[in-house]
Amino acid sequence: MSATRTSFWRDSRNIYVLYMVAGVAAVPAGLIYALLAAKNLDRWWTTCPLLALGLISALLVWSYCERHWFSAQKQPFLRAVFNVHRASPSKNSL
């Protein structure tokens, strides 16, 4: 039961972080739209590309963070170096 709760909270935290990072990635498109709206240039041909820019940047950042931060196949760097060192031939084996 405890492992299930721990897994639930870990997954909830990961999804929360991904949503926050994706939201921050879409902020520049929102700022550009705000500047255009302040100058009365908010037309459909400026809104659609900015919506697409915000969505694409959010999805790219989401997938990058999911792949690099929450990958299940991580191996610590020192452990990988240690394994390579142990696999190399020694002087006595020659």
In a domain? residue 16: yes
Mean pLDDT computed over 23-46 = 92
Model confidence pLDDT, tens digit, residues 68-81: 887 766 555 555 55
Predicted TM-score (pTM) above 0.75: no
In a domain? residue 47: yes
In a domain? residue 94: no
User: Percent of the chain having pLDDT more than 70?
Assistant: 71
The number of domains in the chain is: 1
Domain that holds residue 62: 2-88
Tell me what pLDDT residue 84 has. 53
In a domain? residue 93: no
Mean pLDDT computed over 51-55 = 94
Integer Cα distance of 49 and 29 in angstroms: 9
